[in-house]
């Protein structure tokens, strides 16, 4: 599940360590402190294991497609607590290699032993780029998805494992993935704009006091402070459980992936030009929501007997720990039913931390008649 196989940080691939493909190598200790250490705590594992949508999807994918596991060899990339490895063994796998980069591997071993599966499941502590297996595998299973699918860059490690250890006839669990984007209405836009205005008002009071009491003019720092606060309050994506009624236009797919053939280069930078049509009457465009879904379809030559989908789309009843990423606008725009949004999205990895994302969004709004209405460009950060 979404734990610490490596996430593409610890060397070995031709693109260079860090999954950056041309970026500076990522120091292992820095990457562990920033990313891996989080997954070494049981409370974090509990949060993910409590996600019923997530758990049910993987459980059903495995046990309703036992033909992919029975008598087969399985690699679990980022095993965490070991539950996917355990399910694989219970579904009939003859051997399961469960790779985990953190000390959570000790808990996984204990859980495997407590479930009497140590003769099938072998827990290996280390990054998947650094470990060695005695054989190729029939199945790679992993819960690698981060916020808006690609945050954390863990899919790099799954690609590495696939290219190194998956048999030519092997299958990927999940097999496919999609990223979705849609216009939304939300009171968060007004609240965050109010928070930003409050922060700036506080700064001006602070600056006046410094000058009055201590004779130092702080005015030269007002602009950089505003930039800093705007990034924090307005430009940084927020986790949220959106209600489907908050989606005011047609959701659109900005990226589709076949996990059997996807490459690191195609996820280092995602570019998409799509259109969404406003479906709500006389409403406000307050921002955008981003989410993902993954499918368990097997492969063309060896399809799933029962296809399963895990979706993180807005839902009234089936929320996930991923929620949705919300990208707000400080100045919402009035839109009408039938308005067309032409969206240009570029998502790339942060230069400071390859596991975080930056998004450049261009939006052109046209009325249903085709007349131009408004256009804007925004920069967002998924941190």
Annotated catalytic residue: which of 143, 268, 360, 364? 143
Locate the domains of the chain by residue range. 28-143, 179-185+238-382
Report strand pairing: 137-141 vs 166-173.
parallel
Domain spanning 179-185+238-382 has what CATH number?
2.70.160.11
Catalytic site residue 152? Answer: yes
Annotated catalytic residue: which of 152, 230, 360, 367? 152
- The fourth-level CATH superfamily of domain 28-143 is Vaccinia Virus protein VP39 (3.40.50.150)
H helices of the chain, in order, are 28-34, 42-49, 52-63, 83-90, 104-114, 155-165, 188-214, 222-230, 264-268
pLDDT at residue 14, rounded to an integer:
27
pLDDT at residue 45, rounded to an integer:
87
pLDDT at residue 352, rounded to an integer:
83
pLDDT at residue 49, rounded to an integer:
92
pLDDT at residue 36, rounded to an integer:
53
For residue 203 the two structure tokens come to 């700064």
The answer, as to whether pTM is greater than 0.85, is yes
pLDDT at residue 2, rounded to an integer:
44
Classify residue 51 by its DSSP letter: -
* Count of CB atoms situated within 10 Å of the CB of 219: 11
Q: Find, among 43, 115, 116, the residue nearest to 80 by Cα.
A: 43
Q: Which residues of the chain fall below pLDDT 50? A: 1-24, 32-33
pLDDT at residue 8, rounded to an integer:
31
């Amino acid at each position: 599940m979404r734990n610490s196989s490596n996430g593409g940080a610890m060397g070995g691939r031709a693109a260079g360590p860090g999954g950056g493909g041309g970026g500076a190598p990522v120091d292992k200790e820095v990457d562990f402190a920033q990313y891996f250490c989080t997954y070494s705590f049981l409370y974090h594992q509990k949060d993910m294991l409590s996600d019923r949508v997530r758990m049910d999807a993987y459980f059903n994918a495995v046990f309703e497609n036992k033909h992919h596991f029975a008598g087969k060899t399985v690699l679990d990339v980022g095993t965490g607590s070991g539950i996917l490895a355990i399910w694989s063994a219970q579904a009939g796998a003859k051997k399961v290699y469960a790779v985990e980069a953190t000390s959570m591997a000790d808990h996984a071993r204990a859980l495997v032993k407590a479930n009497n599966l140590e003769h099938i499941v072998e827990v290996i502590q280390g990054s998947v780029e650094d470990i060695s297996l005695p054989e190729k595998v029939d199945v790679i299973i992993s819960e690698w998805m981060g916020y808006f699918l690609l945050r954390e860059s863990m899919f790099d490690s799954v690609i590495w494992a696939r290219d190194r250890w998956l048999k030519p006839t092997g299958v990927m669990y999940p097999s496919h993935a999609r990223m979705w984007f849609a216009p939304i209405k939300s009171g968060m836009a007004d609240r965050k704009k109010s928070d930003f205005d409050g922060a700036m008002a506080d700064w001006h009071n602070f600056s006046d006091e410094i000058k009055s009491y201590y004779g130092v003019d702080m005015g030269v720092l007002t602009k950089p402070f505003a930039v800093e606060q705007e990034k924090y309050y307005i430009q940084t994506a927020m986790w949220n459980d959106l209600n489907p009624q908050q989606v005011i236009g047609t959701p659109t797919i900005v990226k589709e992936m076949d996990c059997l053939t996807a490459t690191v280069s195609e996820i280092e930078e995602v570019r998409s030009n799509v259109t969404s049509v406003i479906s709500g009457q006389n409403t406000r465009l307050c921002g955008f929501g981003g989410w993902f879904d993954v499918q368990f379809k097997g492969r063309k030559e060896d399809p799933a007997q029962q296809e399963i989908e895990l979706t993180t789309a807005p839902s009234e009843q089936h929320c996930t720990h991923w929620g949705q990423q919300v990208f707000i606008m400080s100045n919402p725009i009035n839109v009408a039913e039938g308005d067309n949004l032409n969206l240009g999205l570029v998502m790339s990895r942060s230069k400071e931390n390859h596991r975080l994302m930056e998004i450049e969004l261009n939006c052109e709004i046209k009325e249903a008649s085709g007349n131009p209405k408004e256009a804007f460009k925004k920069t967002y950060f998924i941190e």
